[in-house]
Amino acid sequence: MRIWALLMAIGNTAVIVKGLEFLYSQDLAYQEFISKSVLLRFIYQVLMMMIITVIQWMANFLTEQKSLAEHQHENERIVKEAELYNLRQQLQPHFLFNSLNSISALAGSKPDQARRMIEQLSEFLRHTLRKDDKQLISLKEELYQLDLYLQIEKVRFGNRLKSTVVLDASCANKVMPALILQPLVENAIKFGLYDTLGEVEIVVEAKCAANQYLQIQISNPFDSLTHRQTAGTGFGLDSIKRRLYLLYANNDLVQTEIKDQQFIVRLTIPQ
């Protein structure tokens, strides 16, 4: 860069000096001034060429950095989407296998219930397959999908499974990632039903917070004395934590608590 600027400065200075000498060939005083200022003109030309070169280099450097940042952002987006997709794919088979096993068990003894469960499962999967991991849907839509899931589970567990949804009407159109609640309710059913023969109620509450957050709470009975860790119990909860972190870059959107023999999961969804 320096050699190129030096050569350009020499060439420019020579051209300028010769041009001025030609134009002012009759003005001896000005020719003397030109002769004395050759070194100054040369230094000026060197500095200008170096400044122009540096500016051009910086422009190229910034363009390359911007391009690299865009490529990195795109790569991170692709990795994030792949992880979200993988989390969703891991959740679906477990529920599907349980439902198919229940349908198989009902087919011989209670064919009407088996048929009803097949219809409900078909409706649930139809809605599930239309959603993607980044899609935001209304709370009302999410609760409809959750109701489809609960109807299927109630065929499996009969009167043992009760559910209550408490919805602040002003929150119905608040948005949230699709299919967030189903894995958490599935977790609640595991915690609540697998270690007891009595009735269990799953309660889902949704309300709007003053700070523009949608807050959802899911609770189920939990007795630490009789509870046994069920294989895969923690995966649904961990996957939801990970999904929300990938979507909102916040690790504090899922909180859990055991209080008054209730296992409580609280979600905070930014709006």
Confidence of residue 233 (pLDDT cuts 50, 70, 90): very low
Residue ranges covered by each domain of the chain:
2-65, 110-270
How many other CB atoms sit within 10 Å of the CB of residue 181? 24
pLDDT at 265: 95
Contact 148, 127 (CB under 8 A): yes
Separation between Cα atoms, residue 32 and residue 24, nearest integer Å: 10
Question: Residues near 48 by Cβ (< 8 Å), separated by ≥ 6?
Answer: 9
- When pLDDT is averaged across residues 63-90 and rounded to a whole number, the result is 70
pLDDT at 206: 95
Confidence of residue 31 (pLDDT cuts 50, 70, 90): low
Given a cut of 80, is residue 229 above it in pLDDT?
no
| Residues 242-262: tens digit of each pLDDT | 889 888 989 899 999 998 889
Separation between Cα atoms, residue 263 and residue 229, nearest integer Å: 14
pTM (predicted TM-score): 0.64
Looking at domain 110-270, its CATH class is alpha beta
Better pLDDT: 220 or 155: 220
Beta bridge partners of 176: 137
Separation between Cα atoms, residue 137 and residue 148, nearest integer Å: 16
Better pLDDT: 33 or 136: 136
Better pLDDT: 159 or 6: 159
Given a cut of 60, is residue 127 above it in pLDDT?
yes
Given a cut of 60, is residue 50 above it in pLDDT?
yes
Given a cut of 80, is residue 124 above it in pLDDT?
yes
* Closest C-alpha among 35, 38, 40, 43 to residue 9: 43
Confidence of residue 142 (pLDDT cuts 50, 70, 90): very high
Contact 164, 219 (CB under 8 A): no
Confidence of residue 176 (pLDDT cuts 50, 70, 90): very high
Confidence of residue 231 (pLDDT cuts 50, 70, 90): very low
* Closest C-alpha among 232, 233, 267 to residue 250: 267
Confidence of residue 122 (pLDDT cuts 50, 70, 90): confident
Q: Which two tokens stand for residue 59?
A: 């422009």
* Closest C-alpha among 199, 171, 201, 196 to residue 185: 201
Given a cut of 60, is residue 40 above it in pLDDT?
yes
